Homo-oligomer: A and B are copies of this chain.
Amino acid sequence: MSHTEYPPFAVTADLVVLTIREDALCALLVRRAADPFAGCWALPGGFVGEDEDTDAAARRELEEETGLADGTVHLEQLASYGAPGRDPRMRVVTIAYLALAPDLPAPTAGSDAADARWWPVEELLADPGRLAFDHHRILSDGVARARAMPENATVFCRPEFTVAELRRACEVVMGTPLDPRNFHRKVTGRPGFLAPTGTMTTRDGGRPARLYRRSLVSRSSQSSDDFSTAPVR
């Protein structure tokens, strides 16, 4: 580019927020109050501020939408979407973020959202026309990413959780049943992955189970393989 003229873009940070509710992977959607797509369900998000880092904008939107402090949530960049015409008003580039959150109370409707609620992703993915803009595609990409990293299923659990609870979270994310005994061995045998609290609980019934907390050991030292203990077809 040899001269200083560049077309102006609007930039938004949009969120694929996933959680587990009633044994189903769910995504947070808001119902749009204004045109375009007024009344339609869409991913939460919004325009990036003039002096705002795009990552910071994502964190801000996340907190506005869920009320969640950072640290409880896993937040990472997903991808960018910049096809012309994806917003009928103007040229918009969207930077999508993937957020994995523990189960939350009913979400609060934001200022520009008529409504906000959790939807099972299976239902959403089955109907490509349900979401505004190209949000179906973004959601689909986000769910695929989440499924590819079941190691992060700990963020779907309470701060202190049992191995069985973590296993059920993994099962929901992956969509496959896992062998409880192999899962237990694998997950407890990985050094630095789970930190035992020393306490027990009987909230799952049966014999009391040890409670664990997510370990704070640096993630870099761990291989990123999953817990696939799928019992095969």
Contact = CB atoms under 8 A, between A and B. Distances in A.
A4 to B, nearest CB: 8
B50 A91 contact: yes
A191 interface: no
State the copy count for this chain. 2
Contacts of A11: 6, 9, 11, 82, 93
A91 to B, nearest CB: 7
Interface string A93-116: 101000000000000000110000
A83 B51 CA distance: 8
B112 A1 contact: yes
A15 to B, nearest CB: 14
Chain A interface mostly: loop
A87 to B, nearest CB: 11
Contact of A7 (B48, B55, B79, B111): B48
Chain A interface size band reads 20 to 34
Interface of A: 1-2, 4, 6-11, 34, 46-55, 77, 79-84, 89, 91, 93, 95, 111-112
26 contacts: A1-B47, A2-B34, A2-B112, A4-B89, A6-B10, A6-B11, A7-B49, A9-B10, A9-B48, A9-B93, A11-B11, A11-B93, A48-B82, A50-B91, A51-B84, A53-B82, A53-B83, A54-B80, A54-B81, A54-B82, A54-B83, A54-B93, A77-B79, A80-B80, A82-B95, A93-B95
